[in-house]
Amino acid sequence: MQRIQDMLGYERLTQLLPTTKLDGRVITAILCGFGAGILLRKWLFRRQLQKKIAKAQEQRERLLEQMKAAVHRFKQKHPDIRAESILSLSLLELSEKLQEGTFSPENVLYTYMEQALKVNEELNCLTDFIPDCEEQLRELQKRKEKGLLYGIPVSLKEHYDYKNHVSSCGLVSFLGIPAKDDSVIVKVLKSQGAIPFVKTNVPQTMLSYDSSNVIFGKTLHPQNPKKSPGGSSSGEGALIAGGGSILGLGSDVGGSIRIPSSFCGICGLKPTASRLSFLGTPVPLPGMDTVTASLGPMARDVDSLALCMRALLCEELFHLDPSLPPLSFNDEVYASSKPLRIGYYESDGFSQPTPSMKRAIQQTKQLLEKTGHELIPFSVPRTEHMVYELFLGGIFADGIETLHDLLKNEMIDPCMRYLFRLSYFPAFVKRLLSFLLKPMFPRLAKFLDKTCGIGSVKKLWKQHDAVKTYQCEFIDKWKSLELDVILCPAVCPAFNLASSGILLGVTSYTFLYNVLNFPAGTVTVDTVTEEDEEKLKQYQGYYHDFWDTQLRKSVEGGVGLPIAVQCVALPWQDELCLRLMKEVETVTREWRRRR
């Protein structure tokens, strides 16, 4: 020991150290100074974030004023343009008039720009105006080939890259980084003559069914300001339903196209993943591939979705992204009148459908049967396994670490607060809470357990294999019944504001088809009735837990709001999915007209 002390210069070291004892006041002063330093650092960091947010908000206001000025100049030159004659047309009708030259792309663009501004004043759905649309308009009129979407104004979900514009995904840390190029989908839209003119709002991180972020605020439902338009394609749903866009592009990793479409009363398609290119469309959790994400169209009717897919699935797309299968749109399948063999279910056995969800399926089933289609009962296999092991096990495979890293330097929006707080809990604490909650609240207990993460690469590979096994099991059951398509519930009606973020576990009806990677779309079929609202008072759910209670509370007060159904096909049969959607739209519209 003495030798070691000599080697370290122990005696010289002790001579240099102070021999006086620190009293309590000095220690208190040191600790207070340290605490004050931490608080100052946090304050300065928050101030920096607020400056970035203020700059982004000022940029938006400047661009929206530029948009208003452009509309004003146009109206001064063309005072006789009747907006209603344009806004009242379906996409197919408008496209026909543009192709034949009855309407000019200029008249259409500025009419929709004016309407988008009006909708935004009420709903707060726009994040960006794309001034380049005016230059594109001039170039478009010089082109010899018009393209399938010639002169059609298109809105984009905020995370679609457009050159020199920001794709923030609702995150402050993504601000100030303009895109270096257009996304592949934007390039294809332009090649087909479409004119992207605005970008629309999303929830923070886009991993929420809510509609708010700390940069651009909250987007409201087009019919009821107390309700959410859904997420994460929140702005698209609200803008299209409000008449401010005739065609929009969204994305879907758990229902993010289908839920806003269902809530807002429009149509939305989640195609098979890799049918459309994700190049140039940033996501907050890159590499999370267990649960597949898709890009897809949103519009007021099914024919509009079909036209968009027909336009996008072209040689230009396959040239720009050779990783995609070169499958053009199959018009023969979409236009077929052959009766379909349709599987259907009213419940997945995990989340009890609301009365209006259940009625939507029963009503649509009867109408389809009357038109000659055959409806066969179907049951979803092993729903709990799908929810916990495959979906939650997939999106939380990293133990929420990636999400934590994204948000730790952000101001947290209420829609992400509960997940962010969970990300701070050590795994052993969450497992302990899971164990304690299991007897009373088994679903919440399993949810907590899954937020701990997979734990190893070996377990992740097993999880990937489990997804493939489940997909094969589902397809085998489908084929054993010789089904063409499936009709099933869509999540509806619209939830109350700020409640969607905590209802992740009750949206199993939509995220099932992200796990399976099946094309799925939603079609509005009716509205909530007084009878639905009365039956909702008796709603208890299957588990009588927090999620069941919250779901009932979240959909209360929904009389008059849209309700929808979901249509599903096997992978790569997107046209068949659209065919069922069209059949549903036709029979329910006729039924509503007669009623």
Find, among 197, 187, 95, 99, the residue nearest to 143 by Cα. 99
β-pairing verdict for 562-568 and 520-527: antiparallel
- Could you tell me if 499 and 550 are in contact, meaning their C-beta atoms sit under 8 angstroms apart? yes
DSSP for 85-100 reads HHHTS-HHHHHHHHHH
Which whole-number Å values give the CA distances from 198 to 121, 149, 231, 465, in the listed order?
A: 14, 16, 18, 41
Which whole-number Å values give the CA distances from 593 to 137, 351, 368, 528, 589, in the listed order?
A: 38, 32, 16, 17, 6
Q: Number of C-alpha atoms within 13 angstroms, CB side, residue 559?
A: 8
Spatial separation of the C-alpha atoms in residues 455 and 468, rounded to whole Å: 20
- Could you tell me if 290 and 464 are in contact, meaning their C-beta atoms sit under 8 angstroms apart? yes
Spatial separation of the C-alpha atoms in residues 323 and 356, rounded to whole Å: 41
Residue 107: how many CB atoms within 10 A of its CB? Answer: 18
- Could you tell me if 97 and 146 are in contact, meaning their C-beta atoms sit under 8 angstroms apart? no
Q: Tokens 């002390």 — which residue? A: 5
DSSP for 531-593 reads HHHHHHTT--TTT-SHHHHHHHHHHTT-TT-EEEEEEE--TT-HHHHHHHHHHHHHHHHHHHH
- 206 labelled ligand-binding: yes
Active site residues: 157, 232, 256
Find, among 258, 223, 257, the residue nearest to 242 by Cα. 223
Q: Tokens 């409806």 — which residue? A: 375
Spatial separation of the C-alpha atoms in residues 529 and 527, rounded to whole Å: 6
- Could you tell me if 221 and 229 are in contact, meaning their C-beta atoms sit under 8 angstroms apart? yes
* Torsions phi, psi for 491 (to 5 deg): -70, 120
CA dihedral in degrees (64, 67, 72, 75; nearest 10)? -140
Element (H or E) spanning 367, and its range? Answer: helix 355-370
Spatial separation of the C-alpha atoms in residues 315 and 330, rounded to whole Å: 14
Helix axes 442-450, 427-437, angle to 10 degrees: 170
Spatial separation of the C-alpha atoms in residues 257 and 254, rounded to whole Å: 9
- 587 labelled ligand-binding: no
- 253 labelled ligand-binding: yes
Q: Tokens 């249509």 — which residue? A: 567
- 256 labelled ligand-binding: yes
Find, among 550, 529, 532, 554, the residue nearest to 541 by Cα. 550
| Helix then strand then coil, % of the chain, to nearest 5 | 50, 10, 35
Find, among 557, 562, 551, 574, the residue nearest to 209 by Cα. 551
Report DSSP state, residue 517: T
Binding-site residues for substrate, in ranges, read: 206, 232, 253-256
Binding-site residues, in ranges, read: 206, 232, 253-256
